[in-house]
Amino acid sequence: MARIVVVEDETSLRADLVEYLAACGHAVAGCGDGGALDAALSRQAADIVILDVNLPGEDGFSIAKRLREQSEVGIIMLTARGVNVDRVVGLEIGADVYLVKPIELRELEAQVRTLARRLKVTPATQAAAGPVTVASPIPGGWLYDQVAWALIAPGGGVLKLTANERVFVNLLVEQPGEPVSRADIFRALGKREWDVGDRSVDSMVRRLRSKGEEMLGHPLPIEAVHGTGYAFAAPVTVR
């Protein structure tokens, strides 16, 4: 069971989502805008926020961005738009899943269950108790868990990844030590081609490094390669 907040300004759709997910065994609350979401989260922490993009006042992208800056809550974004750039923006700011309306309720619940399983890598108590540690299978080496979307440090610290971070790390750990070009990273993230003026990848890497130092207590072995892109500069096992 997951603790879920549905943020949707369309009253009938919000009621349908809350009712269906509750019937599936989840603890669900409904909100109509960002202010109501903040109030709900101040009363009770959530595992997953299902967030409409087109909301009155503060839009879903802005809400998702500040949620991601403040916590590791799971974020599922809903939108009536099918434009690929909206999906890319949603994922870049930290959304875990992006679904286009009309929503198939069974698909939404399946995404909730999958995301809830993955989020168990980092328990809700982590912020207060410090980094989660697990046994590292290779002394002195890193582990990348594809199923859990997580990097596990040699000391056992666990760093959970967002959707875009997962795509990025996937590329780097395929050949540790070998640089991956910005063009390849852009294509993997759903962009048409590398734009020298687009710094979104560099911003994502800065956020990932900062999160890594905060959660693990030491820098990630992700290095910029001048004129090329990025490389994972340490031994790593993929499972």
Query: pLDDT digits over 225-236, tens only?
Result: 888 899 999 999
Number of structural domains (the chain) is: 2
What is the reported pTM?
0.54
* Whole-number pLDDT of residue 214: 84
Identify the segments of the chain with pLDDT beneath 70: 81-92, 121-140, 192-197
Q: Are 78 and 50 in contact (CB under 8 A)?
A: yes
CA distance 209 to 222: 8
Q: Are residues 77 and 163 in the same domain?
A: no
* Whole-number pLDDT of residue 216: 86
- Domain closes at, from 62, 88, 119: 119
**Pairing assessment for the beta strands 229-232 and 180-181 based on DSSP bridges:** antiparallel
Q: Are residues 92 and 57 in the same domain?
A: yes
User: Is 92 a member of any domain?
Assistant: yes
CA distance 198 to 182: 10
- Domain closes at, from 68, 92, 119: 119
What CATH number does the domain containing 64 carry?
A: 3.40.50.2300
* Whole-number pLDDT of residue 192: 65
Structural domain containing residue 144: 131-238
Q: Are residues 9 and 101 in the same domain?
A: yes
- Residue-by-residue DSSP string for 142-182: EEEETTTTEEE-TT-BEEE--HHHHHHHHHHHHSTTS-EEH
Q: What's the pLDDT tens digit per position in 114-158? A: 888 887 744 333 333 344 333 334 445 899 988 788 899 988 888
CA distance 200 to 189: 11
Beta-carbon contacts of 102 under 8 Å, excluding residues fewer than 6 positions away, are none
Instruction: Give the CA dihedral 152, 183, 231, 178, nearest 10 degrees.
Output: 120
